[in-house]
């Protein structure tokens, strides 16, 4: 729900509650005012009749005007103390043929030693009529409030929230690789100005951190590779000298450690580049051709390990960076080779925008949800650096691919869904 829609909804909810309370109070105020007005009119009629009696007017039968049909004036045989009573009563209404609520005012007045009974009555405004009138008024007010709120809300919001939408658009289009922060603009709205200044500072800090991290990763990788290459060369030269079998084993162990450290440095640098989204240019990759060419390059390694490869390939094209496509497949294939068993097999299935690769192997002794984490290895004794599947996971996340692992004895199965 949009902000303006939520604001209008809250405003109308409050309006309905306020109108409901106001209508309830208005009902009793209107009813009280109508009753008081009727009382004052009847009391005025009583006083008028009293005045006319004092002036000698005869209110015997037939002397009451047509406007005073509900007026009763009767002389009493004895003298009575002056008094007035007001009460509700019911009177039969001939046209409606039903009893209707009426207000009756009765008074006793003494004029020239003669007491008179004076009574008048009239129909009260029924509560249903008052309720109907109040509801109509409230509905008209609510209707105008709804039209006004929606009209003004959307008209005003289109101008008022224009700076906010512009800032949001810039944030969506912001790219660290552009190395350009989002510049703040004056909007004449204090809150939006604060937001724009914060966004500018935040993007400047993000670009600075990104630049420093990128330089560190590149420098660390470069500076590490140089001494490692020298060390590797020295160890290779050392193997050509006269060494005892024990010394040769030490040199070979050192050489393996140097190679592992070199691969670790390269993998970490690659992982950093992937996480920093440095591979942004995509193109349509024929994944079927990529798998075919890659498996051919690994034929000697596959034969050396006594493995068999079964392929079921259909043409699949994927829109992604070519380097990431190659790394994704190579890491999955190498993982299937490294964690296989002697004389095992690898099955590759490609089709319906899905890649499934499975290999024989021992069950893993770690939670499957940790398998794609950094430095997580199912076999701690292997020479793997534990970053292959982590790189695969980052590539899949960056390209919105689905990635899953399952084990059905004796096969480990990894599936990549390109259309996730």
Residue 148, domain member (yes or no): no
Q: What are the phi and psi torsion angles at 281 (to 5°)?
A: -75, 120
Rounded to a whole number of angstroms, the CA Rg of the chain reads: 47
Q: Structure pTM? A: 0.49
Give all strands of the β-sheet with 354-360 in edge-to-edge order: 308-313, 345-351, 354-360, 411-417, 402-408
Residue 299, domain member (yes or no): yes
Between 30-44, 220-234, 387-401, the lowest mean confidence (pLDDT) is in 220-234
Residue range 9-20: average pLDDT?
88
Here the tokens at position 256 are 């393996």
Per-residue pLDDT tens for 378-387?
Answer: 554 455 545 6
Give all strands of the β-sheet with 71-75 in edge-to-edge order: 71-75, 114-123, 98-111, 83-93
User: What's the pLDDT score for residue 127?
Assistant: 77
Between 43-57, 149-163, 222-236, 318-332, the lowest mean confidence (pLDDT) is in 222-236
Q: Model confidence at 356, in pLDDT bands (50, 70, 90)?
A: very high
Residues 333 and 378 placed together within one structural domain of the fold: yes
Residue 88, domain member (yes or no): yes
Which among 224, 244, 275 is the end of a domain?
275
User: What's the pLDDT score for residue 172?
Assistant: 86
Q: Measured between alpha carbons, how far is 116 from 108 in angstroms, rounded to an integer?
A: 6
User: What's the pLDDT score for residue 390?
Assistant: 82
Helix (H, G, I), strand (E, B) or coil at 75: strand
DSSP designation for 417? E
Domain at 255, CATH number:
1.10.287
Give me the number of domains the chain comprises: 3
Strands 308-313 and 345-351: parallel
Residues 257 and 296 placed together within one structural domain of the fold: no
Which among 227, 259, 275 is the end of a domain?
275
User: What's the pLDDT score for residue 417?
Assistant: 92
Q: Measured between alpha carbons, how far is 219 from 358 in angstroms, rounded to an integer?
A: 37
160 vs 275, residue with greater confidence: 160
Here the tokens at position 302 are 């596959």
Residue 74, domain member (yes or no): yes
Residues 301 and 239 placed together within one structural domain of the fold: no
Residues 92 and 26 placed together within one structural domain of the fold: yes
Q: Model confidence at 32, in pLDDT bands (50, 70, 90)?
A: confident
Kindly report the CA angle at 213 between 168 and 387, in degrees rounded to 5?
A: 105
User: What's the pLDDT score for residue 381?
Assistant: 45
User: What's the pLDDT score for residue 347?
Assistant: 92
Residues 122 and 231 placed together within one structural domain of the fold: no
Residues 212 and 313 placed together within one structural domain of the fold: no
Between 36-50, 95-109, 190-204, the lowest mean confidence (pLDDT) is in 95-109
Residue range 281-297: average pLDDT?
87
DSSP designation for 87? E
Residue range 104-108: average pLDDT?
90
User: What's the pLDDT score for residue 187?
Assistant: 81
Q: Model confidence at 374, in pLDDT bands (50, 70, 90)?
A: low
* Predicted confidence (pLDDT) at residue 352 exceeds the cutoff of 80: yes
Q: Measured between alpha carbons, how far is 47 from 29 in angstroms, rounded to an integer?
A: 27
Count other Cβ atoms within 10 Å, centred on residue 394.
Answer: 22
User: What's the pLDDT score for residue 66?
Assistant: 46
Residue range 185-205: average pLDDT?
86
Q: Model confidence at 420, in pLDDT bands (50, 70, 90)?
A: low
Kindly report the CA angle at 385 between 393 and 245, in degrees rounded to 5?
A: 160
Rounded to the nearest integer, the mean pLDDT of the chain is: 81
Residue 117: strand pairing partners: 74, 108
Strands 402-408 and 83-93: unpaired
* Predicted confidence (pLDDT) at residue 260 exceeds the cutoff of 80: no
* Predicted confidence (pLDDT) at residue 316 exceeds the cutoff of 50: yes
**174 near 203, Cβ under 8 Å?**
yes
Q: What are the phi and psi torsion angles at 290 (to 5°)?
A: -60, -45
Kindly report the CA angle at 405 between 402 and 410, in degrees rounded to 5?
A: 150
Helix (H, G, I), strand (E, B) or coil at 281: coil
For residue 44, the surrounding DSSP H or E stretch is helix 3-54
Count other Cβ atoms within 10 Å, centred on residue 375.
Answer: 10
Q: Model confidence at 71, in pLDDT bands (50, 70, 90)?
A: confident
* Predicted confidence (pLDDT) at residue 101 exceeds the cutoff of 70: yes
Give me the percent of the chain exceeding a pLDDT of 70.
86
Residue range 276-299: average pLDDT?
83
Highest mean predicted confidence (pLDDT) among 98-102, 197-201, 227-231: 197-201
Q: State the residue range of the domain holding 117.
A: 3-129
User: What's the pLDDT score for residue 349?
Assistant: 92
Residue (of 323, 336, 320, 333) closest to 396 by Cα position: 320
Residues 29 and 120 placed together within one structural domain of the fold: yes
């Amino acid at each position: 729900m949009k902000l303006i829609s939520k604001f209008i909804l809250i405003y109308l909810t409050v309006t309905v509650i306020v109108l409901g309370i106001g209508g309830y109070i208005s009902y009793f105020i209107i009813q009280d005012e109508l009753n008081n007005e009727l009382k004052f009119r009847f009391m005025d009629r009583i006083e008028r009749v009293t005045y006319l009696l004092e002036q000698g007017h005869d209110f015997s039968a037939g002397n009451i005007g047509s406007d005073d049909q509900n007026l009763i004036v009767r002389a009493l045989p004895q003298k009575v103390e002056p008094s007035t009573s007001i009460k509700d009563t019911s009177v039969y209404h001939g046209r409606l043929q039903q009893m209707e609520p009426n207000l009756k005012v009765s008074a006793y007045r003494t004029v020239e030693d003669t007491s008179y009974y004076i009574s008048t009555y009239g129909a009260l405004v029924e509560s249903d009529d008052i309720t109907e009138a109040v509801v109509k008024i409230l509905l008209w007010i609510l209707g105008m409030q709804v039209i006004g709120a929606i009209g003004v809300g959307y008209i005003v919001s289109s101008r008022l929230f224009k700076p906010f939408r512009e800032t949001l658009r810039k944030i969506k289009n912001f790219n660290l690789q552009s190395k350009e922060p989002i510049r703040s603009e004056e909007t004449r709205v204090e809150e939006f100005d604060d937001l724009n200044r914060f966004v500018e500072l935040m993007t400047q800090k993000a670009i600075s951190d990104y630049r420093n991290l990128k330089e560190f990763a590149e420098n660390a990788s470069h500076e590490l590779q140089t001494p490692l290459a020298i060390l590797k060369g020295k160890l290779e030269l050392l193997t050509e000298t006269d060494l005892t079998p024990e010394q040769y084993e030490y040199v070979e162990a050192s050489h393996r450690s140097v190679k592992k450290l070199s691969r670790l440095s390269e993998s970490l640098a690659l992982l950093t580049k992937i996480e920093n989204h440095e591979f942004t240019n995509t193109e349509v990759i024929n994944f079927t051709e990529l798998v075919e060419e890659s498996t051919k390059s690994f034929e000697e390694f596959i034969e050396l390990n006594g493995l068999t490869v079964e392929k079921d390939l259909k043409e699949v094209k994927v829109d992604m960076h070519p380097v990431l496509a190659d790394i994704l497949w190579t890491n999955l294939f190498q993982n299937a080779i490294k964690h296989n068993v002697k004389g095992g097999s690898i099955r590759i299935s490609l089709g319906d925008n899905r890649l499934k690769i499975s290999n024989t192997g021992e069950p893993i002794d770690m939670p499957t949800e940790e398998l794609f984490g950094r430095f997580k290895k199912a076999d701690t004794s292997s020479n793997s650096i534990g970053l292959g599947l982590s790189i695969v996971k980052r590539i899949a996340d960056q390209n919105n691919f689905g990635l899953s692992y399952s084990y059905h004895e004796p096969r480990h199965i990894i599936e990549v869904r390109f259309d996730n």
